[in-house]
Amino acid sequence: MNIVDLIIKKRNGGELTTDEINYFIKGVTDKSLPDYQISAMLMAIFFRSLSPQETADLTLAMVHSGTTLDLSEINGIKVDKHSTGGVADTTTLILAPLVASLGLKVIKMSGRGLGHSGGTIDKLESIPGYNTDLSTQQAIKQVNNIGLAIIGQTSDLTPADKYLYALRDVTGTVDSIPLIASSIMSKKLAGGSDAIVLDVKVGNGAFMQDITQARQLAKAMVEIGNSLNKKTVALITAMDRPLGNNIGNSLEVEEAINVLKGKVKGRLKDVVLELGAHMLVLGKITNNLETARNMLNENIANGKGLDKFKELITAQGGNPHVCDDLSLLPQPTEKFTVTAKKSGIISQMDTAKIGRASVALGAGRTYKGEKIDLSAGIIMNKTVGDAVQQGDKIAELYASDIDKCNIAADILNESIEISNVEKKPLPTILEVIE
C-alpha cells in the first residue's frame, strides 16, 4: 500500500477502504508518515469529505491507536456526555452528580479550557484540594463506591487524534464535519462507556455557527456511535448567548452549587434536565423522558444531587464545605461593574467575545499550559431580550488587578448590542437527533 496512491484516490473523490484508513492511521501513530503527506491527506478529506463508512472506519482506527478504557468492572450501563463547548456551560458539574444520585454510573473524562471555552477540570480544581489526576483503576473503584468520578483525560487515549488535530490546527483543515465528528467520537468511544449523549452547541459562541452545520455534525456523530453499537443521542442547543450567568472557574462552581440547591433556574438548568433525561433513559433507569425530568427535579428539591456532589468532592480529596460556604472558593481582589451605555433592548450578544473578555480577566488560556486565575470571571446580570436603562448593571467583572478589568470591560461593551429592535434569541433546545 502506498500513501501517495491513497492521497490521489481521496483527492479524486474515491472512497477509502477500511484497510486503507487503518494503514493511514498506523502511519500517523508510528510516525512512519511525514507531516506533509498526512497534511495532504487531511486537505483531500477536507475538500472531498468522507462517507459515513469512511468516517466510522477513521473513528475506530483512532480509537485503537492507543489504549481504551475497560469499564466492565463497573456494574450497570455507563453513559457518557460530551459538549462541543461554549461560554458558561457548567452542565457537567450539575449533571454528573445529579444523574449519579439516581443510580446511573458515570465515569467522566474532561479537559481543560482553551480559548473562550471553559474546561471542566479547571473548574473542579478551583475547589480546594480536588484531585483530577486519578488512574483508571482508582476512578473505577470510586465509581463502584459512589457511582461517580470526574477526572482528567489520560495521555495515551487516541494519540492519532491528538497528532491529527495538531496538524489540522495549522493547515486550515479544522472545519471538516467528518474530521470533527471522528475526533470527538474517537475519544468518547475509547472512554469505554456503553452509551453517549452529545450536546452540540450552535450560535456565535459555538464552533458550529449555524443550525445546518450543527445538524450535520450531530447526525455524523450519532451515525458513528450507533454504527459501532454505542447508543448515541445528540441534542442541538443554543450558544447565541452565555448558557449560565457565571463565567469563570470558581464562579461556575458557585452557580452549579446554587442550581443543585434549587436556587437558580433558567437555560443552564433546562439543558441539564434535558441531557440528564436522555442519559437516564439510555442508562435504563427509566424508559420515559418526562419521568426522568421529574426524577431529576425531585433530586434537586430533596438535596440528593447536592449530596452526591459533596460525595464526589470528598472522594477526590476536595473540601465539600464549599457547598455550604462559597467563600471557601478562590476569591478575586478586584471587582468592576459594567453598565448599559444607553437605554433600549439587548438585541444581540457576541458570545465568543464575552468568553474572550473572561480570558482577558485571567479565567482562561490563550495557549496550552498557561496559568489561569481560578477566581477571575464574569457574572452576567442581563441577557438577550432584556430591557435596560442607561446606567443599569449589565455585568460584574472579577480579576486580580483593575487593569485586567478595564481591558475586559471594553471587550464586553463591544460584545453587547443595545437597540430599539427586539430580536428573538434561539430556543434553548433546538433539536434532538436520534
Statement to judge: residues 12 and 122 lie in one domain: no
The pLDDT value given to residue 364: 87
- Going by their DSSP bridges, the two strands 377-380 and 246-247 should be labelled as antiparallel
Share of the chain above pLDDT 90, in %: 87
Point out the catalytic residue in the list 105, 116, 162, 187: 187
Statement to judge: residues 7 and 148 lie in one domain: no
Ordered alpha helix ranges (H), 126-176: 136-146, 159-171
Residue 393 vs residues 387, 389, 414: alpha-carbon distances, Å: 12, 9, 15
Statement to judge: residues 303 and 268 lie in one domain: yes
Statement to judge: residues 375 and 412 lie in one domain: yes
Does residue 400 have an active-site annotation? no
The pLDDT value given to residue 253: 98
14 inside domain:
yes
Query: What is the domain-level CATH number for residue 30?
Result: 1.20.970.10
298 inside domain:
yes
Statement to judge: residues 318 and 351 lie in one domain: no
Does residue 321 have an active-site annotation? no
Q: Using an 8 Å Cβ cutoff, are 206 and 217 in contact?
A: no
| Per-residue model confidence as pLDDT tens digits over 55-92 | 999 999 999 999 999 999 999 999 999 998 889 999 99
Q: Exposed (0-12), middle (13-18) or buried (19+): which is 269, by Cβ within 10 Å?
A: buried
Averaged over 416-423, what is the pLDDT?
A: 90
Averaged over 397-419, what is the pLDDT?
A: 96
Statement to judge: residues 212 and 353 lie in one domain: no
65 inside domain:
no
| Per-residue model confidence as pLDDT tens digits over 129-163 | 999 999 989 999 999 999 999 998 777 889 999 89
Averaged over 295-311, what is the pLDDT?
A: 98
Point out the catalytic residue in the list 64, 168, 308, 365: 168
Average pLDDT, the chain: 94
The pLDDT value given to residue 295: 98
195 inside domain:
yes
Averaged over 31-60, what is the pLDDT?
A: 96
Following DSSP, what letter does each residue of 407-418 receive, concatenated? HHHHHHHHHEEE
Statement to judge: residues 14 and 91 lie in one domain: no
Point out the catalytic residue in the list 183, 186, 375, 415: 183
Number of domains in the chain: 3
pLDDT band at 116 (very low <50, low <70, confident <90, very high): low
Question: Which long-range contacts does 165-171 make (Cβ < 8 Å, 24+ apart)?
Answer: 167/35, 167/38, 167/39, 167/42, 168/42, 171/39, 171/42, 171/43
The pLDDT value given to residue 405: 97
Query: What is the domain-level CATH number for residue 359?
Result: 3.90.1170.30
Kindly tell me if the per-residue pLDDT of 182 is higher than 80.
Answer: yes
Residue ending a domain, choose from 292, 323, 354: 323
Between 113 and 193, where is the model more confident?
Answer: 193
Averaged over 311-317, what is the pLDDT?
A: 98
Residue ending a domain, choose from 302, 323, 344: 323
Residue 129 vs residues 317, 328, 330: alpha-carbon distances, Å: 5, 11, 12
| Per-residue model confidence as pLDDT tens digits over 254-269 | 999 999 999 999 999 9
Kindly tell me if the per-residue pLDDT of 112 is higher than 80.
Answer: no
Statement to judge: residues 293 and 396 lie in one domain: no
Predicted TM-score (pTM) of the model is 0.92
62 inside domain:
no
* Cβ-based neighbours of 362, under 8 Å, separated by 6 or more: 372, 373, 376, 399, 400, 404
Averaged over 312-334, what is the pLDDT?
A: 97
Does residue 187 have an active-site annotation? yes
Residue ending a domain, choose from 284, 302, 323: 323
122 inside domain:
yes
Does residue 112 have an active-site annotation? no
Kindly tell me if the per-residue pLDDT of 114 is higher than 70.
Answer: no
| Per-residue model confidence as pLDDT tens digits over 332-369 | 999 999 999 999 999 999 999 999 999 999 998 877 67
pLDDT band at 422 (very low <50, low <70, confident <90, very high): confident
The pLDDT value given to residue 304: 98
Tell how far CA 7 is from the center of its chain: 33
Statement to judge: residues 290 and 341 lie in one domain: no
What is the spatial distance between Cα 160 and Cα 376, in angstroms, rounded to a whole number? 35
Query: What is the domain-level CATH number for residue 129?
Result: 3.40.1030.10
**SS3 of residue 205 by DSSP:** coil
Kindly tell me if the per-residue pLDDT of 211 is higher than 90.
Answer: yes
Point out the catalytic residue in the list 10, 64, 81, 82: 82
71 inside domain:
no
Statement to judge: residues 163 and 306 lie in one domain: yes
Residue 179 vs residues 112, 170, 173, 202, 341: alpha-carbon distances, Å: 21, 14, 8, 18, 43
| Per-residue model confidence as pLDDT tens digits over 213-266 | 999 999 999 999 998 899 999 999 999 999 999 999 999 999 999 999 999 999
Does residue 201 have an active-site annotation? no
Statement to judge: residues 111 and 177 lie in one domain: yes
Share of the chain above pLDDT 70, in %: 98
Point out the catalytic residue in the list 161, 194, 240, 373: 161
Residue 41 structural domain = 3-48
Tell how far CA 195 is from the center of its chain: 17
Task: Number of helices (H) and strands (E) in the chain: give both, helices first.
Answer: 16, 13
353 inside domain:
yes
Statement to judge: residues 189 and 284 lie in one domain: yes
Asked which of 17-21, 128-132, 161-165, 412-416 is least confident by mean pLDDT, the reply is 161-165
The two most distant CA atoms of the chain are separated, in Å, by 68
pLDDT band at 317 (very low <50, low <70, confident <90, very high): very high
